[in-house]
Structure formats: structure tokens, C-alpha cells
């Protein structure tokens, strides 16, 4: 019984129960929801947000925020598309440059926060505009296509009945979970978010940790940019617009405290899954897209309110 009680206190168990209950409800309300095709459609749509949310979770655990992930996604996609389409780069080389763009944006955010001492909200809000503006400038505002098959298969291919982006998502979530939970650096990320002054006193190089999490976040946003471009078969300068809110919401719903020091990759994945299931279910139920936004916003407010109440209670 004690083991069962301890298990029930695990936050991720509660999220899992909510997710399963939501899926069963939608399965009863609409026949299409629990079909294999629809389930994999939901998982595919969740994969892009989930990948980005792994990095965002690390950032929020340090009591930071990154509003530039959506524009990083768009800029990385446009850059790698231009290199393939007009400059003769191989898909691999183009993708590597796109991922380097993500790292560079993450590093720029980290420098502004650690060296210039800008608030993360301000620094990344500015970078949101810079990244989106550059995406429009270098693309001329036009979509870019077509691409080689070897690139397209990364977004549209299947391994058995599993979409390739889902495999990327699973791998990134597992690696992120192990890194955050079972490495010294992962424990230092929690320490920085829990109390940055105490972390400095025990010898943790806090600026390095902050630089690292923002670079990881930028890199994973670029990974999503690569996968979305391959999935759609076109790079658009407005790709990822508004994704920053979905990514932050996935982390918050998943139990990552906006006060810092608390959160998990497993919880964030379930937060992203809950959002994906909710959106898909409302579409199948024929609910207006306007009301869908209201519902998602309500869920986000509820999740953050619970986090705030829990923080005050502790």
C-alpha cells in the first residue's frame, strides 16, 4: 500500500490519468478518435512541439523563458531550404547549417542573459523579432521548394507504421530525460533554477549552465524546423509562428514550475500530448477553431494557477 501511495503522489501519474481519461472520453464521443490512423496523426502533430518542449523545459527549470523558439524554427527551415534549393548543398550539409543556426540563436540569447544581464523575457522577445525578420528577408517572403527525396523522407517517411518524426521525438525525449535526471549537468540545471545564489556558492558555474540550456533549446527548435520543412515539403518564413506559446504551455501543463527548479521531460511530453489530443478531439467534434483557442487558453491558465498555488503552499 505504501508503494501505491508513493506512486500516486508522482505528478506524471496524474497527468497520465488525465491523458487516458481524455482519450477515452473522446473515443466515446467520436468514432474516429481511437482509430490507428488518427492516433498516429495526433502523435505526429505532437512530435514537433514535444521536441521543442524538451529544450524549453530545461530553460524554464532554470527560471528562464525563451520566446524565440518559433522564429528559430522558421529561420532554420528557410536557411536549410535555400541552401539545398539554390546553392547546391547536400541535404545533410544543409541540415547541419540549419541546426547551427539554432545553436547560434540559443548562444545569442544566452550571452544577452548572462553577460548583458537582460531579463530572459526581454532578450528572447527581441530575438523572436530578429529571427522572424531574417526569415522573411532571406526568403523574400516566398515559400521555398521542392527538395530531394532523401530530405523529404525525414518528414514524410515511415518505419513500419510509425512516422519518422515520431522516432526522432522518442529518441530526443529519452536522451533529454536521461541528461536531465541522471547526469551531473542535469542536477546543476535544477540547482540553478532552485536557487541561483546557492548554486554559485557551491561552485556551480551558473552562466555556463544558462548558456547551455539556451543553446540546447535553440538547437531543438532548429531540429523541429528541419522536420517540419521535410514533412510539409516546403519552407515558409512564417513557419512556427505562435509555437512558442504551445511549447511553453506543454511544459507548464506537464508540471514544469515557472518559478524554476522543478519539472520533468516525461511530464512535458504528457503536457504536449494532452494539448494535441484536446485539439484533435475538438476538431473531430466540430468545435469552432475560435472556441478551440479559448479551451487551450483555459487549460494553460488552469495549469499555471495550480503551479502557483502549489508554490505558495510549499
pLDDT tens track for 31-44: 889 898 899 999 99
The pLDDT score that the predictor gives to residue 297 is 82
Predicted confidence band of residue 6 (pLDDT cuts 50, 70, 90): low
The pLDDT score that the predictor gives to residue 312 is 67
Predicted confidence band of residue 259 (pLDDT cuts 50, 70, 90): confident
Residue 222 pLDDT > 50: yes
The pLDDT score that the predictor gives to residue 299 is 80
Contacts for 195 with CB less than 8 Å, ≥ 6 apart: 261
Kindly report which listed range (14-28, 173-187, 191-205) carries the lowest average pLDDT score.
14-28
Query: Of 292 and 47, which is predicted with more confidence?
Result: 47
**Residue spans of beta strands (DSSP E) within 208-307:** none
Q: What is the mean pLDDT of residues 234-255?
A: 92
Query: Of 285 and 210, which is predicted with more confidence?
Result: 210
Contacts for 198 with CB less than 8 Å, ≥ 6 apart: 191
The pLDDT score that the predictor gives to residue 1 is 52
Kindly report which listed range (145-159, 274-288, 296-310) carries the lowest average pLDDT score.
296-310
Nearest-angstrom CA–CA distance, 229 and 259? 34
Residue 119 pLDDT > 90: yes
Q: What is the mean pLDDT of residues 269-288?
A: 91
Nearest-angstrom CA–CA distance, 180 and 57? 10
Nearest-angstrom CA–CA distance, 57 and 254? 9
% of the chain exceeding 90 in pLDDT: 73
Q: Beta strands 158-159 and 162-163: pairing type?
A: antiparallel
Residue 5 has, within 13 A of its CA and on its CB side, a CA count of 2
Nearest-angstrom CA–CA distance, 285 and 33? 10
**Residue spans of beta strands (DSSP E) within the chain:** 158-159, 162-163
Residue 8 pLDDT > 60: no
Grid cell, residue 27, equals 473515443
The pLDDT score that the predictor gives to residue 290 is 83
- φ/ψ (deg, to 5) at 159: -110, 100
Residue 193 pLDDT > 60: yes
Residue 269 pLDDT > 90: yes
Residue 246 pLDDT > 50: yes
Kindly report which listed range (3-7, 14-18, 65-69, 264-268) carries the lowest average pLDDT score.
3-7
Q: What is the mean pLDDT of residues 95-124?
A: 97
Q: What is the mean pLDDT of the chain?
A: 91
Question: Which residues sit opposite 162 in a β-bridge?
Answer: 159
The pLDDT score that the predictor gives to residue 292 is 81
Under a CB-based contact definition with an 8 Å cutoff, are residues 122 and 113 in contact? no
Nearest-angstrom CA–CA distance, 152 and 91? 9
Grid cell, residue 25, equals 472520453
Kindly report which listed range (83-87, 108-112, 150-154, 300-304) carries the lowest average pLDDT score.
300-304
Taking alpha carbons only, the member of 229, 227, 215 closest to residue 139 is: 229
Amino acid at each position: 500500500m505504501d508503494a501505491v501511495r508513493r506512486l500516486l503522489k508522482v505528478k506524471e501519474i496524474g497527468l497520465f490519468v488525465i491523458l487516458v481519461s481524455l482519450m477515452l472520453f473522446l473515443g466515446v464521443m467520436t468514432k474516429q478518435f481511437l482509430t490507428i490512423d488518427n492516433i498516429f496523426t495526433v502523435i505526429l502533430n505532437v512530435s514537433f512541439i514535444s521536441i521543442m518542449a524538451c529544450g524549453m523545459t530545461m530553460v524554464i527549470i532554470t527560471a528562464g523563458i525563451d520566446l524565440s523558439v518559433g522564429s528559430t524554427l522558421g529561420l532554420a527551415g528557410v536557411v536549410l531550404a535555400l541552401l539545398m534549393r539554390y546553392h547546391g548543398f547536400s541535404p545533410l550539409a544543409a541540415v547541419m547549417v540549419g541546426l547551427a543556426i539554432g545553436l547560434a540563436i540559443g548562444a545569442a540569447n544566452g550571452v544577452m542573459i548572462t553577460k548583458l544581464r537582460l531579463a530572459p523575457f526581454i532578450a528572447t522577445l527581441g530575438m523572436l523579432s530578429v529571427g522572424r525578420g531574417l526569415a522573411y528577408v532571406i526568403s523574400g517572403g516566398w515559400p521555398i521548394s521542392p527538395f530531394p527525396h532523401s530530405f523529404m523522407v525525414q518528414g514524410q517517411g515511415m518505419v513500419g507504421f510509425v512516422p519518422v518524426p515520431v522516432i526522432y521525438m522518442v529518441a530526443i525525449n529519452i536522451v533529454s530525460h536521461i541528461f536531465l535526471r541522471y547526469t551531473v549537468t542535469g542536477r546543476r540545471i535544477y540547482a540553478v533554477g532552485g536557487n541561483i545564489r546557492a548554486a554559485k556558492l557551491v561552485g556551480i558555474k551558473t552562466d555556463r549552465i544558462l548558456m547551455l540550456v539556451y543553446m540546447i533549446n535553440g538547437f531543438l527548435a532548429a531540429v523541429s524546423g528541419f522536420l517540419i520543412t521535410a514533412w510539409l515539403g516546403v519552407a515558409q518564413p512564417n513557419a512556427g509562428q505562435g509555437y512558442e506559446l504551445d511549447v511553453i504551455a506543454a511544459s507548464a501543463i506537464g508540471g514544469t514550475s515557472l518559478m524554476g527548479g522543478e519539472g520533468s521531460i516525461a511530464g512535458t511530453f504528457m503536457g504536449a500530448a494532452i494539448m494535441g489530443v484536446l485539439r484533435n478531439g475538438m476538431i473531430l467534434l466540430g468545435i469552432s477553431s475560435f472556441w478551440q483557442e479559448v479551451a487551450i487558453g483555459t487549460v494553460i491558465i488552469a495549469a499555471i494557477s495550480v503551479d502557483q498555488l502549489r508554490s505558495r503552499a510549499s
